[in-house]
Structure 1
Amino acid sequence: MGQSEEEIARRLAALRTEHRDLDDSITALLLSGHVDQLQLARLKRRKLRLKDEIALLEDQLIPDIIA
């Protein structure tokens, strides 16, 4: 793990913002009435990749608790 907690937190904030923006873009595309299925699929794939990356970074910040 070569990144500090502060760097990870900054990256997480940026990814979460991008994830929300993609969600807004997907919603706007669906509401427009003219849905480009290819564009919609690309946006959804990108959103899923961001979600996975966010989860990985969150795991780095949250220590494992041994019960």
Structure 2
Amino acid sequence: MIDDETQRLQLRLTELKQEHRDLDDVIARLLERAPFDQLQMQRLKKKKLNLKDEIAYIEGRLHPDIIA
């Protein structure tokens, strides 16, 4: 993998992890308020899951499992 691509992936990974943490905070605050909008909560959780999938994909590209 090219160094520029590795740096780009690492930067994107950092951004995604921060966004994932931010969504955790938003979801926690939303849960503290009762009642809360179920549809909004569902959308936030789906977005968080998509971020997790993208994070896993990038981590797999940066640290591939090499079977010897």
Q: TM-score, normalised by structure 2?
A: 0.90
1:3-42 matches, within 5 Å, as 4-42=5-43
Q: CA deviation at 1:32?
A: 1.2
Q: Deviations over 1:18-55 (max 9, x none)?
A: 00000100000000112100000000000000000000
Identity in percent: 54
1:23-62 matches, within 5 Å, as 23-62=24-63
Unaligned runs of 5+ in 2: none
Q: Distance in 1 between matches of 2:50 and 2:57?
A: 11
Q: TM-score, normalised by structure 1?
A: 0.91
* Cα RMSD for the two superposed structures: 1.7
Unaligned runs of 5+ in 1: none
Q: Distance in 2 between matches of 1:63 and 1:22?
A: 27
Letter in 2 for 1:32: R
